[in-house]
A and B are shown apart, each in its own frame.
Chain A
Amino acid sequence: MKIEETEKEKIEEFALFDDWMGKYEHIIELGKSLPMIEEKYKTDDRLIKGCQSKVWLRSEMKDGKIFFTADSDAIITKGLVALVICVLSGHSPDEILNAKMDFINQIGLTQHLSPTRANGLVNMIKQMKLDAMALKAKL
């Protein structure tokens, strides 16, 4: 599935919730499906800077596609990482680098994109794209 298609799917999925509580409960639920990073990779160099909660991210290349695993100590953050990983994982570096990620706004999670010190989502996406760039260079 293309990135845009998964994005569209996610927008539709979130449209089912008409209040914030449903939406956040769904985010928390998504966290449970997060492809977990192995404990041994939870090292400081894999911590994403600028998150109030801790987020560890690992990016691996398999057959020209990048797969992400991650974890967080906060459960809403974990859900947000899961959401982003679900959209980006399994795609080529170029697809990841070109992804606009506008679906986050459309889902109504714009507040998580503001570049405050507390917020991790922007840095998470940035790190995924940086990793994609680095892995692309190795191709």
Chain B
Amino acid sequence: MAEQTIVNKKILDVQKVRKDFPILSRKVNGKPLIYFDSGATSQKPKQVIDAITKYYFEQNANIHRGVHTLSQEITSVYENARATIQKHLNAKHSHEIIFTSGVTESINLVANSFGKKFISAGDEIVISEMEHHSNILPWQQLCEEKNAVLKIIPINEAGELVLDAFKNLLSPKTKIVAITHVSNTLGTINPIKEIIALAHAKNIPVLVDGAQSVPHMKVDVQELDADFYCFSGHKVYGPTGVGILYGKEEWLRKLPNYKVGGGTIKTVTFTKTEYADIPLRFEAGTPHIEGGIGLAAAFDYVNAIGLENISAYEHELTTYATKKLLTIDGLKIIGTSKDKASVISFVLDKIHPYDTGVILDQLGIAVRTGHHCTQPIMDKFKTPGTVRASFAFYNTKEEIDELVLGVERARKMLS
């Protein structure tokens, strides 16, 4: 308990934090909301909501277009947001930060553009068995189009990548490795730096899906030496519909266009178009302006608390929840890697995860149930789905106690 007090009071004042998230004070089914679905989408602090509101109240204009004051002002705000994100990821240049609609679009962009230029018949693309469908389907489709081969790094029973198998998969035919930093289903934190080093030793670029890592830990793209790194705004306490693709300048310059249209050009004639430089070349159309601004506000918010503090507190929560949940008869945790983020997936005897989810919802507890867009993992662990509780730094140990009581209650009702 002494340790818990220190964490709560000194590292992070969770009660103070909770006041920043207006939604956490609402009730669901007559009970106080307990939100354990941050892995699907995080809640937003009022600092983010205020930034979005301010945009519509005071700043709305199109960016990169007008000579008028509003347009110039908002262009600066938007480009400052890019700089905030660059700084947060420790990217070398702000033009290495491309605004997208989220991880899905970021990966589609790379799969399309990289694929167009660098993938031919017989080439190999390496992904892992624990990928979200968003990091499977774009590569699968590319392989089908180009007659290339998708190679899969297997995972072990604990839900960890089998690194020896990975080493053996890398061949002269391997053109790119696309891998998640943290598994959304298993919580496993992959040794990304090592994976990148192994791939780079064979001159193979690596794309990292950071959807589940950026919200919870410090990510330094230069230290990792990632070639591409992407994440979604809505999972990092920011708005929906915005995300980031970080790409090393040398790679972005080599990639052909993805979507084209307004904003991506220098000059256009019907015979020849000269395209803009990066990052604008990859940002066709009017962007999600308030999304970009809101995302920067989210980073300002978490940086004020300190991502190290957030990681430490969430680790504490996860350890506590793991210990507590394992006291429930018949409960089995899927994903037992020693290095885990704040995600716990479990199955309960033969009870269907959907049933457990419905009962927990009645108790005001929001968890995710199902395959979590990772059907290959469900196949591996031979279950139709799991119940997934994913925590963020606004959750408390008392809420975890409620979850444990709720699961016990569900088990009684459903057995």
Chain A nearest CB, measured from B65 CB (Å): 38
Taking a contact as CB atoms closer than 8 A, the residue among A20, A24, A74, A111 that contacts B352 in the complex is A74
Complex CA–CA separation, A29 to B362 (angstroms): 18
Complex CA–CA separation, A53 to B370 (angstroms): 8
Asked if A52 and B355 make an inter-chain contact with CB atoms under 8 angstroms apart, the answer reads no
Chain A nearest CB, measured from B374 CB (Å): 14
Asked if A24 and B358 make an inter-chain contact with CB atoms under 8 angstroms apart, the answer reads yes
Question: Sorted from nearest, which 7 A-B pairs have the closest CB atoms?
Answer: A74-B352, A53-B354, A74-B354, A20-B362, A52-B354, A52-B370, A76-B355
Chain A nearest CB, measured from B260 CB (Å): 32
Number of interface residues of B (CB under 8 A): 16
Chain A nearest CB, measured from B185 CB (Å): 15
B-contact bits for A50-94, CB 8 A (1 contact / 0 none)? 001110000000000000000001111100000000000000000
Chain A nearest CB, measured from B267 CB (Å): 45
Asked if B352 and A118 make an inter-chain contact with CB atoms under 8 angstroms apart, the answer reads no
Q: Which residues of chain B are within 8 angstroms of A28 by Cβ–Cβ distance?
A: 413-414
Q: Which residues of chain A are within 8 angstroms of B370 by Cβ–Cβ distance?
A: 52, 117-118
Residue B385, interface by CB 8 Å: yes
Contact status of A24 and B413, CB under 8 A, knowing A74-B352, A76-B354: yes
List 15 other contacts, CB 8 Å, given A53-B352, A118-B369: A24-B359, A24-B413, A52-B353, A52-B354, A52-B370, A73-B352, A73-B384, A74-B354, A75-B355, A75-B414, A76-B354, A76-B359, A76-B414, A77-B352, A118-B357
Chain A nearest CB, measured from B317 CB (Å): 25
Complex CA–CA separation, A53 to B371 (angstroms): 11
Taking a contact as CB atoms closer than 8 A, the residue among A25, A53, A54, A74 that contacts B413 in the complex is A25
Chain A nearest CB, measured from B361 CB (Å): 7
Q: Which residues of chain B are within 8 angstroms of A20 by Cβ–Cβ distance?
A: 29, 362
> Can you show 9 pairs from A to B with CB atoms below 8 A apart?
A28-B414, A53-B355, A54-B384, A73-B384, A76-B354, A76-B358, A76-B359, A77-B352, A77-B354
Q: Which residues of chain A are within 8 angstroms of B369 by Cβ–Cβ distance?
A: 52, 118
Seen from chain B, the residues whose Cβ lies within 8 Å of a Cβ on chain A are: 29, 352-355, 357-359, 361-362, 369-370, 384-385, 413-414
Complex CA–CA separation, A21 to B414 (angstroms): 11
Complex CA–CA separation, A118 to B359 (angstroms): 14
Instruction: Give A79's nearest chain B residue, CB to CB.
Output: B355
Q: Which residues of chain A are within 8 angstroms of B385 by Cβ–Cβ distance?
A: 52
Most chain B beta-carbon neighbours within 10 Å: one of A21, A24, A28, A74: A74
Instruction: Give B362's nearest chain A residue, CB to CB.
Output: A20
Instruction: Give B415's nearest chain A residue, CB to CB.
Output: A75
